[in-house]
Amino acid sequence: MREAQGIVRPDMIHLLMQARDKGSAHKLTLDDIVSQAFIFFFAGFETSSTLMCFVAYELAVNPDIQARLRDEVDRHLAEGNGSISYDSMSKMVYMDMVVSEALRKYPPVIFTDRFTAKRYELPPAQPGCKSLIIEPENVIILPAYGLQNDPKYFPNPEKFDPERFNEENKDKIHPYTYLPFGLGPRKCIGNRFALMETKLLIAELLQKFILKPTEKTIYPIVFDKREFSLQPTGGFWLSLEKREKGK
């Protein structure tokens, strides 16, 4: 319809149509364009909503962390006369630490992959080992969940500890072991938006409610083996207790 009627809209579909018309080694088909549009919905909605649930869950089962984060939210709300702005969200240091730790413990995508463009030799992993040759057009799988929950890189990985990402500790994280959005030039293009909307939702929740576990809340989480992404068996169960003024 866009082609037939000359419709131009400033969106992703138009960019993909332009890429198709320019021509490349891989000729984009209509199915390719539809698939890209679909994966944007899937990648953007499912992962962000699941991250929000995991953050809320950990706050509910860790009331001390929740209380500290609520104090930070209340402080910035008071400075902004009760409203949340982009600037105030950007200044919430502990909020960033909490969300970063949730991404560490529960990466939205449990692995990422890369397509090899040229032959490359990886050095020996340990003394006495052989180097590894990666041939062109090989697919390399990077286990984000495995790396981020490995005690070698993150001691006591089962513990939800936002202090891993404080100013003193975050620079000590071993390079390339923390990749909830991937890394490099092909990392997730929606990472900043996902972080901002998650922080905004949590700030709004903490402003109005106290998050608490229920009888159905399972701790520690047991993952549903039938799901491709990380999902707790039976879903998320939390209660929201309305805050009284001044508390």
What gap in Å lies between CA 166 and CA 163, rounded to an integer? Answer: 5
> Do strands 238-242 and 120-122 pair parallel, antiparallel, or not at all (unpaired)?
unpaired
The residue ranges of the chain whose pLDDT is under 70 are 23-25, 246-247
Q: Is residue 221 domain-resident?
A: yes
Q: What is the CA radius of gyration of the chain?
A: 22
Q: What is the pLDDT of residue 246?
A: 64
pTM: 0.86
Q: Is residue 93 domain-resident?
A: yes
Q: Is residue 214 domain-resident?
A: yes
Q: What is the pLDDT of residue 81?
A: 82
Could you read off the pLDDT of 128-160 as tens digits, one per residue?
999 999 999 999 999 999 999 999 999 999 999
Q: What is the pLDDT of residue 57?
A: 98
188 is in an annotated binding site: yes
HEC secondary structure over 206-240: HHHEEEEECCCCCCCCCECCCCCCCCECCCCCEEE
Q: Is residue 102 domain-resident?
A: yes
What gap in Å lies between CA 61 and CA 59, rounded to an integer? Answer: 6
CB 241 within 8 A of CB 210: yes
Residue 55: which of 208, 154, 203 has the closest Cα?
203
- Residue 184, both tokens: 């490099």
- Residue 174, both tokens: 């071993």
Q: Is residue 42 domain-resident?
A: yes
Q: Is residue 155 domain-resident?
A: yes
| Structural domain for 120, as ranges | 3-22+29-242
Count of structural domains within the chain: 1
Q: Is residue 145 domain-resident?
A: yes
Residue 244: which of 211, 214, 210, 212 has the closest Cα?
210
CATH code of the domain covering residue 211: 1.10.630.10
DSSP 241: E
Q: Give burial (CB, 10 Å; 0-12/13-18/19+) of 190.
A: middle
Q: Is residue 247 domain-resident?
A: no
Cα–Cα distances in angstroms (integers) from residue 232 to residues 18, 76, 111, 146, 161, in the given order: 41, 33, 18, 17, 20
